[in-house]
Amino acid sequence: MRARDDYLRSHPFCEHTGCARIADAVDHIRPLAEGGDKYDPENFQSLCDPHHTEKTTQDALRGKKRAR
């Protein structure tokens, strides 16, 4: 949680290409479910709420497909 707060403070804007809204969340670029590192700042990206929702949905869909 701490690392995420620090990351958000140093990356206050959404890192989605073409988006520059204020970020609301720190996302794991490679989801933890896919072996992403929870504490590695290299695996963090700041996202605004809509883009975080979109990313999370895509990750979940991918996870479901893989499980099948």
C-alpha 7: how far from its chain's center? Answer: 11
Residue 28 or 51: which CB sits closer to Zn ion? Answer: 51
Does 26 engage in binding with Zn ion (CB under 5 A)?
A: no
Residue 14 or 26: which CB sits closer to Zn ion? Answer: 14
Residue 26 or 48: which CB sits closer to Zn ion? Answer: 48
Q: Record the tokens describing residue 58, joined without a space.
A: 């895509």
Question: 23: exposed, middle or buried (C-beta count within 10 Å: 0-12, 13-18, 19+)?
Answer: buried
Interaction site with Zn ion (CB under 5 A): 14, 16, 19, 21, 48, 51
